[in-house]
Amino acid sequence: MGLSKRFPDRALISAVRAEASALEPGTESAEPRRLAGRVMARRGHGKLTFIDLVDRSGRIQLLCDESRAGQIDVDLGDVVGVVGSPASSRRGEPSLAVDELTVLSRNRSPLPDTFHGVTDQETRYRKRYLDLLMNEESRELFLLRSQIVTAIRRFLDEDGFVEVETPVLQPRYGGAFAHPFVTHSKELEADLYLRIATELYLKRLIVGGLERVYEIGKDFRNESVSYKHQPEFTMLEWYEAYADFRDTMDRIEAMLEQVALDALGTTVAQFRGHEIDLKRPWKRVGFSESLDAHELWTRDEGELRARLTERGVDTEADKDWPQLVDTRSVTSSSRA
């Protein structure tokens, strides 16, 4: 198996596309640029070949004139490096007029339909590499997630919090009510648990005097799988001394507003067909006040169950009063 070739000093496609967009149709820049990416489409017109090149930042059209770039021998899925000039086609399409094209890695498996992408949900989940390769929306979502996590870290760091790492393998699990995954240590000859929460170890750090700590890490719960819950998931937890729930509410509002601005450029987000504005201040509703508004304030578990059933809410037999109230809260939130 041949080693992939290096292609240093390359620019992002998005940057070159921006340069080309500023040009008049039918013109090109005198400044050469180097790009690398995957061939996602190819069209021929006489001695002129049009190629769609994609990297993590976007897509651009390559203009390959045989008299200038030589014969083009590439297939869909090949990874190539190109040298050329930012250009605008006669129709005004941002492009790169190619002087040199080097195949860096040959594709050995045919790509799915490059027009429709990967549409089967099972394939998208089980073969994320194909989903990312074929669906621009998925790539954008992965990049957005990275920007959100970075923005959260920046917000908490600037607010005086210390990021820490706590044990994933624990002799006792706690911090939440959940079923753990169990593993075994040969060296210790003892069962260990994958953590279900970071809470207990973070609170010990508060006791130790760090005062403000947070962790963004993986937690594991051996339970159901749905859009609301996964057995392995990423969770943010933070704790601080000398503060109460009101300070936490203020910080959540400030953090989500700032993270939205950093990652989206706006405080308005779309979620399941709804438009949500994260700009402060948020409406605050007391717990009992919220239950009263839905005519659900009762300490009688049977009466609460009956009222929820009337509203079409699933009330499983093993749920007690707090769990029933939580079910009401989650159901109402998902419909808000």
Per-residue pLDDT of the chain in tens (336 residues, 90 and over written 9): 455 689 999 999 999 999 999 999 999 999 999 999 999 999 998 889 999 999 999 999 999 999 999 999 999 999 999 999 999 999 999 999 999 999 999 999 888 876 677 888 888 889 999 999 999 999 999 999 999 999 999 999 999 999 999 999 999 999 888 999 999 999 999 999 999 999 999 999 999 999 999 999 999 999 988 888 899 999 999 999 999 999 999 999 999 999 999 999 999 999 889 999 999 999 998 888 888 887 888 888 888 888 888 887 777 776 777 777 776 554 554 444
In sequence order, the β-bridge partners of residue 41 are 52
Strand partners, 274: 271
Closest by CA to 263, choosing from 135, 161, 152, 139, is: 152
Determine the 3-state secondary structure of 136 from DSSP.
Answer: helix
Contact 291, 332 (CB under 8 A): no
CATH of the domain at 75: 2.40.50.140
Give the N- to C-terminal CA distance of the chain in Å, as an integer.
Answer: 55
Does the residue 121 lie in any domain? Answer: no
Residue 96: count of CB within 10 angstroms of its CB = 30
Which domain-ending residue is among 54, 73, 105? 105
Among 85, 105, 125, the domain-final residue is: 105
Domain contains 319 = yes
Contact in structure between 156 and 163 (CB atoms under 8 Å): yes
Q: Distance (Å, rounded) from C-alpha 280 to C-alpha 267?
A: 9
Q: Is residue 165 part of a domain?
A: no
pLDDT at 260: 98
Judge whether 298 lies within some domain: yes
Phi, psi of 334 (to 5 degrees): -70, -20
CA 164 distance to own-chain centroid:
22
289 in any annotated domain: yes
Distance (Å, whole) CA 167 – CA 201? 8
- Out of 105, 140, 170, a domain closes at 105
| pLDDT on residue 186 | 96
User: Residue 119: what pLDDT?
Assistant: 83
Q: Which domain holds residue 49?
A: 13-105
**Separation between Cα atoms, residue 316 and residue 336, nearest integer Å:** 23
> What is the number of domains present in the chain?
2
Q: Is 18 within a domain?
A: yes
Q: Is residue 179 part of a domain?
A: no
pTM of the model: 0.84
Domain presence at residue 96:
yes
Token readout for 218 is: 């993986």
